[in-house]
Homo-oligomer: A and B are copies of this chain.
Amino acid sequence: MSSHRLEIRVKPRPGLLNPEGKAIHHALAALGWAAVHDVRVGKVIYVDMDADTPDAALVEAEAMCRKILANPVTEDFEISLVPAEGGVPS
């Protein structure tokens, strides 16, 4: 049993409006970033958990996404294992 850090990216499905992304897009344009043509915003969730293997942690994370972390109607998700940062979790 060892500790694993999962990075879960929950993002709006293509085609759905994303008002927060639109607001950022406008702000970037106002600051002169004319080369930007789309911005979309989602959530990134870092889960530190104990599991026997990295694969077991990934399986658990997928179950979490399906159960509560992502809205299956409006969001997609991607999961990666990432190295835990040094230091004590807060």
Residues of A within 8 A of B (CB): 3, 7, 9-11, 14-18, 21, 24, 27-28, 31, 33, 35-51, 60, 64, 67-69, 85, 87, 89-90
Contacts and interface: CB of A to CB of B under 8 A. Distances in A.
Contact of A90 (B10, B14, B31, B44): B14
A31 B68 contact: yes
A5 to B, nearest CB: 9
9 contacts: A7-B9, A18-B90, A27-B68, A28-B47, A28-B68, A31-B67, A38-B90, A41-B43, A43-B44
A17 B90 contact: yes
Contacts of A27: 68
A57 to B, nearest CB: 9
Contact of A41 (B40, B44, B68): B44
A51 B35 CA distance: 7
